Chain A
Amino acid sequence: MSRHLALDGAQAIAEAMRQINPDVVAAYPITPQTEIVQKFSTFVADGLVDTEFITVESEHSAMSACVGAAAAGARVMTATSSAGLALMWEILYVAASNRLPIVMPVVNRALSAPINIHCDHSDSMGARDAGWIQLFSETAQEAYDNAIQAPRIAEHPDVLLPVMVCQDGFITSHGLERIDALEDDQVRQFVGTLQPHMPLLDLEHPVTYGPLDFYDYYFEHKRQQVEAMRHAGPVILEVAEEFARLSGRRYGYFEPYRLDDAEVAVVVLNSTAGTARVVVDRLRKEGIKAGVLKLRVFRPFPVQELAEALRHVRVVGVMDRSDSFGAMGGPVFIETCAAFYTQRHPALVKNFVYGLGGRDTTPDQIEAAFRDLVQIGETGQIGELVTYLGVR
Chain B
Amino acid sequence: MATALKLKELAQQPERLAPGHRMCAGCAEPIIVRQTLHATTDPVVVANATGCLEVATTIYPFTAWRVPWIHSAFENAAATAAGVEAAYRSLVRQGKIKDQQVKFIAFAGDGGTYDIGLQALSGALERGHKMLYICLDNEAYMNTGIQRSGATPLGAWTTTSPVGNVIPGKTQYRKPLTEIIAAHDIPYVAQAAPHNWRDYMTKVQKALDADGPSFINVLSPCPRGWRHDTDETVEMSRLAWETCFWPLFEVENGEWRITARPKEKKPLAEWLKRQGRFSHLFTPANRHLIDELQAEVDRRWDKLLKLCGEA
Q: A and B bound? A: yes
Chain A positions within 8 Å of B, measured between CB atoms, are 23-24, 26, 50-52, 54-58, 60-62, 64-74, 76, 90-91, 94, 98, 200-203, 206-214, 217
Contact present for B83 and A26 (CB under 8 Å): yes
CA distance A264 to B61 in the complex (A): 54
Query: Which of B65, B70, B87, B94 is packed against the most chain A CB atoms within 10 Å?
Result: B87
Q: What residues of chain B lie closer than 8 Å to A51, measured between beta carbons? A: 90
Q: How far is the CB of B62 from chain A (nearest CB, A)?
A: 8
Q: How far is the CB of A282 from chain B (nearest CB, A)?
A: 51
Contact present for A217 and B87 (CB under 8 Å): no
Q: How far is the CB of B90 from chain A (nearest CB, A)?
A: 4
Q: What residues of chain B lie closer than 8 Å to A52, measured between beta carbons? A: 86-87, 89-90, 93
Q: What residues of chain B lie closer than 8 Å to A66, measured between beta carbons? A: 83
Q: How far is the CB of A131 from chain B (nearest CB, A)?
A: 15
> Closest B-chain residue to A95, C-beta based?
B72
Contact present for B73 and A68 (CB under 8 Å): no
Given contacts A55-B127, A56-B123, A201-B102, contact A208 B72 (CB under 8 A): no
Query: Which of A68, A206, A207, A208 is packed against the most chain B CB atoms within 10 Å?
Result: A68
Contact present for B123 and A71 (CB under 8 Å): no
CA distance A203 to B82 in the complex (A): 18
Q: What residues of chain B lie closer than 8 Å to A213, measured between beta carbons? A: 60
Query: Which of B58, B91, B123 is packed against the most chain A CB atoms within 10 Å?
Result: B91
Contact present for A73 and B66 (CB under 8 Å): no
Query: Which of B68, B73, B82 is packed against the most chain A CB atoms within 10 Å?
Result: B68
Given contacts A23-B90, A69-B86, A214-B59, contact A201 B68 (CB under 8 A): yes
Contact present for B84 and A72 (CB under 8 Å): yes
Contact present for B120 and A68 (CB under 8 Å): no
Nearest first, the 3 closest Cβ-Cβ pairs linking A and B are: A68-B83, A57-B123, A65-B83
Interface residues on chain B, size class: 35 or more
> Closest B-chain residue to A58, C-beta based?
B119
Q: How far is the CB of A367 from chain B (nearest CB, A)?
A: 48
CA distance A344 to B68 in the complex (A): 50
Residue from the list B72, B78, B90, B91 in contact with A210, Cβ < 8 A = B72
Given contacts A91-B76, A206-B68, contact A23 B83 (CB under 8 A): no
CA distance A217 to B58 in the complex (A): 13
Q: How far is the CB of A27 from chain B (nearest CB, A)?
A: 12
Task: Decide if B47 is an interface residue (CB 8 Å cutoff).
Answer: yes
- B 66-101 binary contact with A (CB < 8 Å = 1; else 0): 111111110110111111111111110110110010
29 contacts between A and B (CB under 8 A): A23-B90, A23-B94, A24-B83, A24-B86, A50-B90, A50-B94, A51-B90, A54-B83, A56-B127, A57-B123, A60-B79, A61-B79, A62-B79, A64-B80, A64-B120, A65-B82, A68-B47, A70-B83, A73-B87, A200-B45, A200-B69, A201-B45, A201-B68, A202-B68, A206-B65, A206-B67, A206-B69, A208-B58, A208-B70
Contact present for B84 and A71 (CB under 8 Å): yes
- B 27-67 binary contact with A (CB < 8 Å = 1; else 0): 00000000000000001010100000011001111010111
CA distance A90 to B116 in the complex (A): 14
Q: How far is the CB of A99 from chain B (nearest CB, A)?
A: 13
Task: Decide if B279 is an interface residue (CB 8 Å cutoff).
Answer: no
CA distance A208 to B85 in the complex (A): 17
Q: How far is the CB of A24 from chain B (nearest CB, A)?
A: 5
Q: What residues of chain A lie closer than 8 Å to B231, measured between beta carbons? A: none
CA distance A291 to B91 in the complex (A): 49
Given contacts A58-B119, A91-B73, contact A217 B54 (CB under 8 A): no
CA distance A90 to B119 in the complex (A): 16
Q: What residues of chain A lie closer than 8 Å to B61, measured between beta carbons? A: 217
Contact present for A212 and B54 (CB under 8 Å): yes
Q: What residues of chain B lie closer than 8 Å to A57, measured between beta carbons? A: 119-120, 122-123, 126
